[in-house]
Structure 1
Amino acid sequence: MKPIEAGDRIVRNLLSDPYRSFDAPGLVYEGMSYLPLDETRVPGTGFHVIRMEPGTLSAAHEHTADEMFYVLDGELIERDGTRYRRGDMVLLRAGTQHESHTPGGCTLLVYVETLEKPVE
């Protein structure tokens, strides 16, 4: 077996690595930050962790690819009243339009291939 080369492994720590403001092309979310696994990907795509501060509201948007997320802590509430809590795994299909908020803050482990687009 050949050894793992330096450029073939990426390790991030959810507890100690710095999160950055969630400013993706065409999308700016106040109160939201993220930690990407692979920094060469478009911000907001791939495998990443999102932190939403208490009171954060995501703007209405449409998913251009399936989005999968796992609620690490806190609670996220959809506009239709659906509540996602710690331990929930969620799949939102491509084409899904939604917005959500978190009264007490939450942390999500997310995977999505392509960037969402704003909905009016």
Structure 2
Amino acid sequence: MKQIAATERIVANYKTAPYKAYIDADGREIPGQSFVQFDDTFPEGAGFTLYRMAPGSSSQPHEHTCHEQFFVIEGEVTDNDGYVYKAGDFVLLKTGTQHFSTTEKGATLVVFVRELERNL
């Protein structure tokens, strides 16, 4: 078996990774939200990403064009219907789901979506 070349491996630690500001579909920066994207074969914001929400921030209202899957690493996130996702929770929101999320104390999530959501 051949060795893995440095160009064939990407490693990032969710605590120290170089997060980028999250930009919505209209090109505006969303305050308090940032992400690290690992696979550049997906559009920015899709694929497998680390997603960080600063304390007091909120995601944009959106509709999922595919299933969204996420795992809460740290903190808590509350959906617009009042459901609270806590550290350790794995969540799958199905295609067509409409929602937005808020966090009081901040949160870090691992997210996977195949394609970008539609802003509402």
Verify same fold: TM over 0.5.
yes
3-state secondary structure, aligned to 1:7: helix
Counting only pairs closer than 5 Å after superposition, residues 19-34 of structure 1 correspond to structure 2 as: 19-26=19-26, 28-34=29-35
Unaligned runs of 5+ in 2: none
Aligned-partner residue type, residue 74 of structure 1: G
Counting only pairs closer than 5 Å after superposition, residues 1-80 of structure 1 correspond to structure 2 as: 1-26=1-26, 28-80=29-81
- How far is 1:91 from its partner? 0.2
CA 1:59 to 1:24, structure 2 compared with 1: closer, same or farther past 3 Å? closer
Partner Cα separation in structure 2 for residue 43 and residue 49 of structure 1: 12
Unaligned runs of 5+ in 1: none
Aligned-partner residue type, residue 11 of structure 1: V
- How far is 1:30 from its partner? 1.6
- How far is 1:40 from its partner? 4.3
Aligned-partner residue type, residue 52 of structure 1: M
Q: What RMSD in Å do the two structures reach over aligned CA positions? A: 1.5
Partner Cα separation in structure 2 for residue 93 and residue 110 of structure 1: 14
Amino-acid identity (%): 44
Give every structure 1 segment of 4 or more consecutive aligned residues whose post-TM-superposition deviation is greater than 3 Å.
24-28
State which drifts further: 84-93 or 39-48.
39-48
3-state secondary structure, aligned to 2:74: strand
When normalised by structure 2's length, the TM-score is 0.90
Q: How many residues align?
A: 119
3-state secondary structure, aligned to 1:77: strand
The structure with the greater share of residues assigned to strand is 1
When normalised by structure 1's length, the TM-score is 0.90
Aligned-partner residue type, residue 59 of structure 2: S
